[in-house]
Amino acid sequence: MINLSISQTQDSFQYNAQAIKDLCTLVLSDTNYESVSLDIIFCDDNHLSKLKMKYFNEDVLTDVLAFPIKNDTILESEVYISYDRALANSKEFDVSLNNEIVRLIVHGLLHLLGYRDDNIESKKIMFDKQESIVESCNITIV
């Protein structure tokens, strides 16, 4: 069972909370967690950049950060998504905003499941898994 909380630091868009929960359930369906508590926070570039600097000492724009609070038999986590980056990415890569938000949620969840993107080999594995999920789901969040 997934306990999902969704919030946003700005009133920039409307989202379908049930669709987000369905996506999280899809991504986490093959895991063995006894319970899952996720906080998904939509914010702006400024907020996410401050988190990136504070926790990773990197002064760069990023689109998603996942912070596991507990990750053993129980998963508790916060996933921050920059709506600004999602919008910019959707235009840059010529995909819908919905497609990009789905991609960012999946990306954040895969990090929680141990996928990494810090070298070429692990990045390919993660992105192949990510794109497989994004392409196979038909979920409308925005």
| pLDDT on residue 125 | 97
Alpha helix (H) residue ranges in 57-96: 83-92
| pLDDT on residue 57 | 96
| pLDDT on residue 134 | 96
Burial (CB < 10 A; 0-12, 13-18, 19+), residue 109, is buried
- How far apart are alpha carbons 39 and 89 in whole angstroms? 23
The answer as to CATH 3.40.390.30 being correct for domain 2-136 is yes
- How far apart are alpha carbons 55 and 14 in whole angstroms? 29
| pLDDT on residue 11 | 75
pLDDT under 50 in the chain at which residues? none
| pLDDT on residue 1 | 76
Which of 50, 22, 53 shows the shortest CA–CA distance to 140? 22
